[in-house]
């Protein structure tokens, strides 16, 4: 059975609930934050298509995960980047028409013309 009772209106108006003490971040979460800050610094240095950086992967890092994080940070910073696979990492530079991938469906412009 549900209990209903009258309480003070100040309880409803109270915006800041007493916050629980936050747990400290795990070592993996701290490492992830550090990596994201590193990617943000790299993206700020990309000013022209001539600026290209190489990212070397450590033995414990997965290429897919690092690539996704890099693209997520770039999306958050509103920077369009091209990421290319390299022997032991990636090359990162600003997106240009020459660097655009040709995979996937063709746009309607090219199918109508050809």
Instruction: Kindly state whether residue 111 falls inside one of the protein's structural domains.
Output: no
Model confidence pLDDT, tens digit, residues 22-33: 889 999 999 999
Inter-residue contact 81 to 95 (CB < 8 Å) = yes
Instruction: Kindly state whether residue 11 falls inside one of the protein's structural domains.
Output: no
The pLDDT mean for the chain works out to 85
Instruction: Kindly state whether residue 9 falls inside one of the protein's structural domains.
Output: no
pLDDT band at 11 (very low <50, low <70, confident <90, very high): confident
Average pLDDT over residues 39-67: 91
pLDDT band at 4 (very low <50, low <70, confident <90, very high): confident
Report d(CA 32, CA 62) in Å as an integer: 13
**pLDDT at residue 81 in the model:** 93
CA distances from 69 to 23, 29, 73 (A): 24, 13, 6
Q: Total structural domains in the chain?
A: 1
Instruction: Kindly state whether residue 114 falls inside one of the protein's structural domains.
Output: no
Residue 72: which domain range? 28-101
Instruction: Kindly state whether residue 7 falls inside one of the protein's structural domains.
Output: no
110: Cβ contacts below 8 Å, ≥ 6 apart: none
Instruction: State the CATH number of the domain containing residue 90.
Output: 3.30.1370
């Amino acid at each position: 059975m549900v209990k209903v009772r009258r309480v003070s209106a100040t309880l409803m108006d109270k915006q800041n609930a007493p916050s629980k003490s936050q747990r400290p971040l795990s070592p993996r979460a701290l490492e992830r934050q550090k990596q994201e800050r590193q990617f943000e610094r790299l993206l700020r240095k990309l000013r022209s298509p001539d600026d290209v950086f190489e990212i070397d992967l450590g033995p414990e890092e997965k290429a897919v995960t690092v690539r996704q994080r890099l693209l997520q940070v770039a999306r958050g910073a509103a920077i369009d980047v091209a990421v290319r696979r390299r022997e032991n990492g990636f090359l990162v530079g600003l997106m240009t028409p020459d660097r655009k991938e040709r995979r996937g469906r063709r746009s309607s412009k090219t199918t109508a013309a050809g």
